[in-house]
Amino acid sequence: MTLRKALLAATVLALPAAAQAEPISGLYVGAGVGANFRQETTSNGLKLRPETGWAGVGALGWGFGNGLRAEVEGNYRTNQARWRNAAGGTIPGGGYTDTYGVMANVLYDFNLGLPITPYIGGGVGYAWQEIRKARLTFPGASAFIEDTEANFAYQGIAGASYDLGSLGAYGLSATLEYRFLGTMNNTFGVSRTGPGAAAVPVGFRPDNFNHSVLVGLRYAFNAVPPAPPPVVAPVTAPAVARTYLVFFDWDRADLTERARQIIAEAADASRKTQTTRIEVAGHADRSGTPQYNQRLSQRRADAVAAELVRRGVNRGEIAVTAYGESRPLVPTADGVREPQNRRVEIVLK
């Protein structure tokens, strides 16, 4: 075991306890099901009053790693139909109204650093609207609607996802969302029979506005499980610790409470030993560009140095260096978020 790895094993990491949702990067799939509420609508003296129905959606999408997502969605909504006339009287009959189609959506996730991620979006596409098994009874006449028409569709989406990674289901999220779906109006033919058929309209042109509340699941294929905590192994340490490691959250340079405790221990040790020089070296993982990581490691080193001074260490005894991503504690590929590489090393000499 190298000295560096031994020191890492002996140091308690200052990492957040709660799982945080990461922006989706790459391919994902999702599905949801729930209640659908279609608005009532009137046309040619006929009022359609749908009962509460159900809706289902399935999507295949791509996340760009910055909160933005694009997806293709297939959907289906159905409601049982109830009918009234222009005066509000009930028309005996029934039937069903269905809407199904394909949409192209764009969504944006608001990453708050929490397991819950709210999102909004919208989409356009093409939808088929169907009225089936609608048999209506009028005085001296009966009517029948069995027709399917298609037209342009549009929708708005607002929801939130909950990352299930804390349960070991990495890449899987539960979703709760509201969707509004509308289509351009279609005209449906009405078949009429009986001596009073002339009083029955020959066509029905309803609005089609749907409000859906859905629960579902979404799976991102490229989700990376968080790095496991290092195994604490017995280490024969010197009587006085000479090197201290301070760890940081991803893309952050502010000190956690545990980080301040480690810096306080280093400051106390510097006063109790014959320390003539304190080296403070900042590092970053490889999840950003080399230029950005160089600046980030500098900010981290400066934050630790400032805390040492606040703890009573003479600023003239501190040498600050920033290495960016050039000296990883754990070698990784470019773009990988490695918690053990987001650190500042304090060396007492």
Whether 341 contacts 227, CB under 8 Å: no
pLDDT at 335: 87
pLDDT at 227: 64
Whether 265 contacts 244, CB under 8 Å: yes
Task: Classify domain 3-17+230-348 by CATH number.
Answer: 3.30.1330.60
Rg, C-alpha atoms of the chain: 32
Whether 114 contacts 20, CB under 8 Å: yes
pLDDT at 165: 85
pLDDT at 235: 59
Whether 8 contacts 230, CB under 8 Å: yes
Task: Classify domain 25-220 by CATH number.
Answer: 2.40.160.20
User: What stretches of the chain adopt beta strand conformation (E)?
Assistant: 25-38, 41-43, 46-48, 53-64, 68-80, 83-85, 90-91, 96-109, 116-138, 141-163, 172-183, 188-189, 191-193, 203-204, 208-220, 243-247, 278-282, 318-322, 343-348
Read off φ and ψ for residue 37, nearest 5 degrees: -120, 105
pLDDT per residue as tens, the chain (349 positions):
454 444 444 443 333 344 567 889 999 999 999 999 999 999 988 899 999 999 999 999 999 999 999 999 999 999 999 998 866 778 888 899 999 999 999 999 999 888 999 999 999 999 999 999 998 888 888 889 999 999 999 999 999 999 998 888 889 999 999 999 999 999 999 999 988 888 888 889 999 999 999 999 999 998 877 666 777 766 554 545 588 999 999 989 998 999 999 989 888 888 887 777 889 999 999 988 999 989 999 999 999 989 988 988 888 888 999 999 999 988 988 888 999 999 999 898 8
Among the listed residues 40, 34, 31, the one whose alpha carbon sits nearest the alpha carbon of residue 53: 34
Q: Where are the domains of the chain?
A: 3-17+230-348, 25-220
Size (the chain), residues: 349
Distance CA 157, CA 72 (A): 14
pLDDT at 37: 97
Residue type, 176: L
For the chain, the 3-state helix, strand and coil shares in percent, each to the nearest 5, are 15, 45, 35
